[in-house]
Structures are given as C-alpha cells and as structure tokens.
Amino acid sequence: MSEKVHCLIIGSGPAGYTAAIYAARAGMKPVLYQGIQPGGQLTITTEVENYPGYPEGIQGPEMMVDFENQAKKMGTDIRYGLATKVDFTGPVHKVQVDEKDWIEADTVIISTGASAKWLNIESEQRLNGYGVSACAVCDGFFFRGKEVAIVGAGDTACEEAVYLSKLASNVHMIVRKGEDGMRASKVMQDRVKNTPNITIYWDSETDEVLGDTKVEAVRIKNIKTGALQQIPVSAFFVAIGHKPNSDIFKEFIDMDEAGYIKTIPGSSKTNVPGVFAAGDVQDKIYRQAVTAAGSGCMAALDAERYLTEQGLA
C-alpha cells in the first residue's frame, strides 16, 4: 500500500507539532506520525514553568495535548505509527510506517527528537519526574536551596553542575573515573573545581536513588574500595548524554559523529532537497521545548518555500 502526501512530519514533540501547525495553515495538508512516544520527552516531565504563555506553569503531558489539539484544529492529519525505514534516493521521498505501509511525500520534516541516556537502575526510572531528571536547565529551578546530585563527567555535566550551583545549596557531582579520566574540557573541569558548593566524588558510581515517592537520597559506591556512601538530596540529575533518534536516516542524511542531523546554518535544510530537520534530533546545544518549537516553525516555512520553488504547492 502506498499513499502520496505534500508534507510528512515524523515525530510529535514541540518541533513536530509546531511544524504541523504552520504547515496546515499554509495549506500543505500535513500528515504527522507520532512515533513511539507521542508528545516526546515532555510527556515524562512534570511541571513546565519556562515555556512562554503559561504564567502558572503546566504539566508536560498536558502541554503536549494542547500542542496536539492545536495542530488538529488547523487541519493536521495526526496518526499513530512509527517510521521504520526511509528511501530518499529520488525526488519523491518514501517513508515506511510500522514496517508495512509506504508513504510518498514531496517534503519530509524529521522531528524525531533525542533520548536521554540513563543509568538503567530501577529507582531512576521509578522516580523519574519525582526528583530524577535528565535536564538540569528544565528542572533545577524546582530545587532552589536544596541539596542535589548530578552524575556525569563531560562538558554538559560540568555546565549543568555549575548551573545547579547557582540554585541549589550544594551540588554533589558523581564521576565514575578519577581526576585524570574526566572527559570534560580543562576549562570546564576548573570551573567545577573552583565552585565552592560543588563536591566531586571521584571513582564513584550510583548504586541507588533512594525514596518511596520522591528523591530523598542517593547511595554511591566507590569503585576502588567498594565503600558505600549515602548522600541526602532532593534531586538527582543524569547528565551522561543524549542519543538522537536518527538511525533510520543514516544512509541518506548527513550527521555528526554523535548522530545529530546536520542542517544548513540558519535553516532546517538537510543535505537532501525537500527533507528538513527540526528539534532535538538536530540540536545538541539547547534542547529546550521553546527552541524545538522555533525550529519546527522554520522547517514548515522552509518546506513551503521548497514546494513553491518546485511548482508543487
């Protein structure tokens, strides 16, 4: 079975839904497939206070329902389904959904996002959204004046530790390797070491996040000695990286070494004409809902211009 559409949007976070709103208003009759996690990472977030237009804050899942309803109201055809294969060899782009049906599209907007890497311990997932977070910039505000922990050893972990130090009373940073094995650049390491309310635990790994209904402490283990230590904290931040959800596009789309899709600066254009990328799948720096939404707008406008230039509008 094959179907032909003007604009196909793959993914349903802030980038995908915003692209859908703009594409629908432009008369492009977009079809959007929601993917494996409809609404994206915000559906596993609790309170969102930093998105414009919600002065009282809003729950992440509720916010994504608002986005979806607005996209539907504008005329987007929103469908359940996961893109499992693509063929971008010709002028008409082909996308397979759920390993069976093929969609042919004049334009494709990739907004599949990125998934946070986790430690894969039971308590981390159980308390996700209740003090466990993979985004210090998103959730650090809720723990002002509290003790918090962060795990990671790269530049992002150091940046987030310094960010948290301005909000939290103390930041406990858990680093798996010794001082000479830290991945972060020297300038970021020095910044962390020179911040008085950041304590670094070298050669340490997370044994368990403690708490029944919210984070109350973290238990860490010294890798060299095996000694356990319990640290009372109100939040536990995981900063060991993100993985862009871009695997199915690798054969056709240019990416960096981490798998983030490369776009032409100042646009959402990829190396394949008519294929655009928006949101966290192409953004390893900001990773915020508002920046994802902005890039979704860019992708829809770029796609509209492409259709006009090709005489397909």
CATH number for position 260: 3.50.50.60
Known catalytic membership, residue 138: yes
φ/ψ of 229, rounded to 5, equals -140, 135
The predicted structure's pLDDT at residue 182 = 85
The predicted structure's pLDDT at residue 286 = 86
**pTM (two decimals):** 0.81
Residues in CB range of 161: below 8 A, 6 or more apart: 136, 150, 152, 171, 173, 192, 195, 198, 239
Q: Beta 132-133 vs 2-10: how paired, if at all? A: unpaired
266 shares a domain with 197: no
The predicted structure's pLDDT at residue 39 = 67
Q: pLDDT tens for residues 215-258?
A: 999 999 999 999 999 999 999 999 998 899 999 999 999 999 99
Q: Write down the catalytic residue from 139, 280, 283, 302.
A: 139
Regions of the chain with pLDDT less than 50: none
34 shares a domain with 15: yes
The last residue of a domain, from among 238, 268, 296 = 238
The last residue of a domain, from among 238, 271, 301 = 238
Q: Number of folded domains in the chain?
A: 2
Q: For the chain, percent helix, then strand, then coil, each to nearest 5?
A: 30, 30, 40
The last residue of a domain, from among 198, 213, 238 = 238
Q: Write down the catalytic residue from 106, 138, 158, 283.
A: 138
Q: Write down the catalytic residue from 77, 135, 155, 203.
A: 135
